[in-house]
């Protein structure tokens, strides 16, 4: 029977880092994935999405400038955008495996499960380890409705050969919003069906509502406060049935995506056989990212119950787990993390929403504005730009920053530095930025 010091489940951002660094630190390490190596971000998430988005951004720029220096509205070739993304990400699985093997990690493929607290079984063979790391990420949340089998999930987006004529997204969170903007620019007729009363619910309502308005303006159909009840196949098309306060409705389309959220990918592991406690939000861990019921188990990345499912946090957790395995005791401290939906325009935020700041009892100023008439927005002939910044009165600390705009992702990075450094609002305003730039807009916010 093969025996390891450390055995890692999952080869995404979190798992591959822990496995590789443990091996480089002299541990005997094994790793397994039940799909290709590389994880969600590189294969079915952030990276291929942003690579494809480059074409949609170029289209948007060209369309906005048509008649203002550009002669014709550019045309999106969805299939070519898809191939462009593939070109960059398709080598990652083999490169990841090669890198791990070169560093001495034993690489496995398939579905393994626990038989006891130190033993797993893979294809009838048993493997043991002193320490286990669970880094299996998330998977699409089942809808639990008739006809669910007709839905595609986020990973399938990257296998689409062309933009469907009409598409329904069930769920208007990050994935539904981002994909709907990409397909809308690619010529699809897009509908989002959201059960809540706000798109991008955890986001600040001011900017989320602006995103909703910008999306509608673009021709995206958004149905809120609606519960999808079933999906039927009708020839090559699908009928999505949904209920609202005024009764039941239906919509017919070519493609339906389930973008109603993601849940921890743990069922297949049979963690109960190892007495490892899981909750709805993942493997239950303490501040060292160590299982609360089995000290020789760690969890990091999306699958740990301490995470927000974002790549930079998965990396951060992986570093904490590595240090704890190497006996350099480190507690995981939840950082202030910026996050953005890569819609066109971007919509994102960092820190508290206005509601959260009020609940926490802060005394703060609100700097809020529709900035669509500002120079940088007008320069690219874009329509939508808005922000809401919350600044605590006594300390002048930025409590939260929320931006909808072409360069919101980068502007929020500046706020991330400001908040990490504890910089005062008046000191920020006294900083010199390049001019005229989106960063410089912060001085007028």
The rounded distance, in Å, linking the Cα atoms of 150 and 37 is: 27
Q: Is 290 helix (H, G, I), strand (E, B) or coil?
A: strand
User: Which range touches ligand NAD (CB under 6 A), out of 68-76, 110-118, 255-263, 330-338?
Assistant: 255-263
Q: Using alpha carbons only, what angle is made at residue 41 by residues 37 and 45, rounded to the nearest 5 degrees?
A: 120
| From ligand FAD, ligand NAD, none, interface partner of 301 (C-beta below 5 to 8 A by class) | ligand FAD
* Contact flags string 314-343 toward ligand FAD, x per CB under 6 A: x---------------------------x-
Q: Check the CA dihedral 162-165-169-174 and report its sign.
A: positive
Chain center to CA of 45: 7
Measure the CA–CA gap between 193 and 275, rounded to whole angstroms.
39
Site membership for ligand NAD, residue 260 (CB under 6 A) = yes
Q: Please choose which of ligand NAD, ligand FAD, none residue 23 contacts, taking the beta carbon within 5 to 8 angstroms, the exact cut-off set by kind.
A: none
How distant, in Å, are the alpha carbons of 360, 368, 390 from that of 363? 9, 16, 10
Report how far apart, in Å, the C-alpha atoms of 283 and of each of 119, 137, 173, 292 are.
18, 10, 23, 9
Annotated binding-site residue numbers for NAD(+): 171-178, 194, 261
Name which of 9 and 238 has its Cβ closer to ligand FAD.
9
176 binds ligand FAD, rule: CB under 6 A: no
Selection from ligand FAD, ligand NAD, none that 34 binds (CB < 5 to 8 A by kind) is ligand FAD
Q: For the CB of residue 10, give the shortest distance to ligand NAD in the complex, in Å.
A: 16
Q: Is residue 18 at the binding interface for ligand FAD, with CB under 6 A as the rule?
A: no
Binding partner selected for residue 171 from ligand FAD, ligand NAD, none, CB under the kind-specific 5 to 8 Å limit: ligand NAD
- Least distance CB 277 / ligand FAD (angstroms): 17
Assess 348 for contact with ligand FAD (CB under 6 A). Answer: no
Residue 445 CB, shortest distance to ligand NAD, in Å, is 22
Query: Would you give the distance in Å from CA 161 to the centre of its chain?
Result: 23
Site string for ligand NAD, 310-349 (x = CB under 6 A): x----------------------------xxxx-------
14 scored as a contact of ligand FAD (CB under 6 A): yes
Residues 139-198 that bind ligand NAD (CB under 6 A): 143, 170-176, 178, 193-196
The reply on whether position 220 binds ligand NAD by CB under 6 A is no
Q: Is 224 in the site for ligand NAD (CB under 6 A)?
A: no
Candidate list 6, 100, 120, 175; residue touching ligand FAD; CB under 6 A: 175
Strand stretches in 363-432, DSSP E? 364-370, 386-392, 398-405
Q: What is the dihedral of CA 426, 432, 434, 439, to 10 degrees?
A: -10
| Residue 261 interacting entry, from ligand FAD, ligand NAD, none, C-beta within 5 to 8 Å by type | ligand NAD
56 binds ligand NAD (CB under 6 A): no
Q: Among candidates 218, 223, 211, which has minimal Cα distance to 183?
A: 218
Mask for 144-173, x = binds ligand FAD (CB under 6 A): ----------x-------------------
Note the residue count of the chain: 445
User: Which segments of 56-207 are extended strands (E)?
Assistant: 106-109, 113-116, 119-122, 125-134, 138-140, 166-170, 189-193
Contact residues for 171 (Cβ-Cβ < 8 A; gap 6+):
192, 193, 194, 195, 258, 259, 260, 261
Q: β-strand 29-33 against 364-370: which pairing, if any?
A: unpaired
Under 8 Å between Cβ of 130 and 6: yes
Binding site for ligand NAD (CB under 6 A): 143, 170-176, 178, 193-196, 201, 227-228, 259-262, 308-310, 339-342
Q: Which residues bind ligand FAD (CB under 6 A)?
A: 9-15, 32-35, 39-41, 44-46, 49, 111, 135-137, 154, 175, 265, 268-269, 301-302, 309-312, 314, 342
């Amino acid at each position: 029977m093969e025996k390891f010091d450390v055995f890692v489940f999952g080869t995404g951002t979190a798992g591959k880092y822990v496995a590789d660094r443990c091996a480089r630190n002299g541990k005997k390490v094994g790793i397994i994935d039940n799909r290709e190596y590389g994880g969600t971000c590189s294969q079915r998430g952030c990276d291929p999405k942003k690579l494809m988005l480059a074409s949609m951004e170029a289209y948007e720029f060209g369309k906005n400038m048509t008649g203002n220096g550009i002669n014709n509205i550019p045309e999106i070739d969805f299939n070519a955008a898809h191939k462009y993304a593939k070109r960059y990400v398709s080598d990652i699985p083999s490169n990841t495996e090669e890198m791990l093997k070169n560093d001495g990690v034993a690489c496995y493929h398939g579905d393994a499960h626990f038989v006891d607290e130190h033993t797993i079984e893979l294809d009838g063979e048993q493997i043991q380890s002193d320490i286990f790391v669970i880094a299996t990420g998330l998977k699409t949340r089942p809808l639990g409705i008739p006809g669910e089998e007709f839905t595609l999930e986020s990973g399938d987006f990257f296998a689409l050969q062309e933009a469907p004529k009409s598409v329904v997204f069930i769920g208007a969170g990050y994935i539904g919003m981002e994909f709907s903007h990409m397909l809308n620019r690619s010529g699809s007729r897009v509908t989002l069906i959201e059960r809540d009363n706000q798109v991008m619910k955890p986001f600040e309502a001011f900017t989320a509502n602006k995103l909703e308005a910008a999306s509608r303006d673009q021709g995206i159909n958004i149905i809120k406060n609606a519960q999808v009840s079933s999906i039927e196949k009708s020839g090559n098309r699908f009928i999505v049935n949904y209920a609202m306060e005024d009764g039941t409705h239906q919509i017919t389309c070519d493609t339906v995506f389930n973008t109603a959220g993601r849940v921890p990918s743990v069922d297949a592991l049979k963690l109960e056989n190892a007495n490892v406690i899981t909750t709805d939000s993942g493997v239950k861990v303490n501040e060292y990212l160590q299982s609360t019921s089995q000290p020789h188990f760690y969890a990091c990345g999306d699958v740990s119950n301490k995470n927000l499912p974002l790549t930079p946090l998965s990396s951060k957790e992986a570093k904490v787990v590595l240090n704890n395995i190497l006996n350099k005791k480190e507690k995981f401290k939840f950082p202030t993390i910026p996050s953005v939906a890569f819609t066109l325009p971007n919509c994102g935020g960092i820190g508290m929403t206005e509601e959260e700041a009020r609940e926490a009892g802060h005394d703060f100023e609100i700097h809020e504005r529709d900035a669509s008439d500002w120079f940088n927005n007008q320069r690219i002939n874009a329509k939508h730009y808005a922000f809401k910044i919350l600044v605590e009165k006594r300390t002048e600390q930025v409590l939260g920053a929320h931006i909808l705009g072409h360069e919101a992702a980068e502007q929020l990075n500046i706020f991330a530095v400001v908040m990490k450094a504890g910089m005062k609002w008046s000191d920020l305003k006294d900083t010199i930025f390049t001019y005229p730039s989106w960063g410089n807009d912060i001085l007028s916010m």
